[in-house]
Structure 1
Amino acid sequence: MNHVSLIGCLARNVEVKNTQSGSQVARFSLAVRREYKNKATGKYEADFINCTAWGRNAEFLQNYTAKGKQVGIEGSLQVSSYEKDGQKVYSTDVVVNKVTLIEKVERDNYTGVAQNQEQHIENGNEYGSYDDYEVYPDDPGYDVGF
């Protein structure tokens, strides 16, 4: 079984590009905190996980998230390779099939998005929003350098 579930913060704003066939794709990094603190600094360290989202997941991430916002993703690992300067380079990404906003969404009246909602997109299908959900607490020791 190839299944990945992660909760982390977006390392940068998500940008969506269109492929030649017209599909939307977003590539982004998710900073996922390790379970232990660095003994020298006393701070948590993070792994930066490369992720790829397609279609409505890509559009959703671009419209409803921003750098530093906490999200949950589910998907599968995909290993690919390419040639660079005559050397074969391998890349491992999480291909996202579900996105969950962990933090409240704050948008102005122009966008029409209500505050304190959790939004789900799974395999391109939008689910309803929920007013009552548990917000994961911010950890003051969470420092990933942005």
Structure 2
Amino acid sequence: MEGPMRESDQRGPKNPQALLGQPLLEMQRPTLEAVAEVSGKLYEGIAAMNKEWTSFINRRLKEDLGMPEQLAACATTEEMFRTCADYVRTAWTDYQSGLEQMSRLNSSLAQQTLSALQSHVNRAVTRGSGDGRRDDA
């Protein structure tokens, strides 16, 4: 009958994780670097959009909440209509420029993210074509 296996009877490396860990990490490194860079670009872009959106909302709230005070200060119906027209004109302009700014930020975010991805793809292709293999078989 066989007894319990002793350590000297076991085959294979003492620590199989050490054998696979480093090559696996090196194989994944380009992907991890790309994800890290893209994540950084996304964070910066989203932070810029949040800042712009918060600024826009603050400006509009100030205008919106100040409207009753402006209307209360009107002495005639004509002044009230003029105040309302100015309010609507300003709101229209603010929303239009806010939308344009958010579109620019969104476009910039997409461009920066795609650019970062493209540079990592180009590096991976360059590394892959320089690995010593030949396609002229």
Query: Normalising by the residue count of structure 1, what TM-score does the alignment of the two structures yield?
Result: 0.15
Which of the two has greater strand per residue?
Answer: 1
Query: Normalising by the residue count of structure 2, what TM-score does the alignment of the two structures yield?
Result: 0.16
**Which structure has the higher relative contact order (CA within 8 Å, separation 6+)?**
2
Which of the two has greater helix per residue?
Answer: 2
The structure number with the bigger radius of gyration is 2
